[in-house]
Amino acid sequence: MLRCLVLASLIACSLGAATLSRRPRLDGRIVGGEDANIEDYPYQVSFEYAYSHRCGASIISANWVVTAAHCVDDVSTSYVRFRAGSSNRETGGTLHPASNITAHPHYDYYTVDFDVAVVRVSTAFNIGTGVQPIPLTTSEPQPGQIAVVTGWGTLYEDSQTLPRRLQVVNVPIVSREECSRAYEEYGGITENMICAAAPGGGKDACQGDSGGPLAVDGTLAGIVSWGAGCAEPSYPGVYSNVAVLRSFITEQTGVN
């Protein structure tokens, strides 16, 4: 099944031939994971839109978060806020309204290329237990390295229920060549993308939490972006490649 991000319930997901002309959205559900504490992943925040959880995001400084560009499609800044310091979806922690949203100027809705956006919050994050920035990676992770994915997305394909508790799953990085072969029908992947998947499937990020972090060695290496199916052995999860997109993030935020 193709994964599609529901934008305020206005865009429907279809399996028809027309859908195959664009890459399916990886909406960030955590499949095969386990309950997690925010203190162990303090950079993770919930991107709420009109008071409901919409996507994931990562704190990169006291004033900035990074997320996926497709998470900010057609949003009004005044309805965007980030919940920090809580392990539970839509409760606890502190709320930080958005003041400015900037998506990568080359982001493409159909190819999901350059899928990164930065958001400045109007009230700074109070850095402490459960609320910490994550450094941006300076190098692309290598195949086989273990990546950590967190989020509040649904727990299995076709579920409409989001978990209350933050979820975490570990998945190894997949080589660019292997991932590009898997997605040949979608045109492969670009240098702005990296992939991760558990051997044999069963663990993945998927529906309900795009824009969340893929961390490697304590740095932000990827952003939940797109993919086909959920935890299927033939299709790795695809993430925005922070090592390549880092210059955009730095230019917009001043975060090195």
Q: What is the tens place of the pLDDT at every residue in 62-101?
A: 999 999 999 999 999 999 999 999 999 999 999 999 999 9
The share of the chain scoring above pLDDT 70, in percent, equals: 80
Instruction: pLDDT band for 253, please (50, 70, 90 cuts).
Output: very high
106 is catalytic: no
Which residue among 46, 210, 225, 240 is the active-site one? 210
Which residue among 53, 70, 96, 104 is the active-site one? 70
Q: What is the CATH number of domain 42-132+246-253?
A: 2.40.10.10
In this structure, the chain runs to a length of: 256
pTM across the whole model: 0.87
Are the beta carbons of 235 and 171 closer than 8 angstroms? Answer: no
Which residue among 115, 204, 209, 240 is the active-site one? 115
Q: What is the tens place of the pLDDT at every residue in 188-220?
A: 999 999 999 877 655 555 555 789 999 999 999
35 is catalytic: no
Q: What is the CATH number of domain 134-243?
A: 2.40.10.10
210 is catalytic: yes
Would the pLDDT of 8 be above 60? no
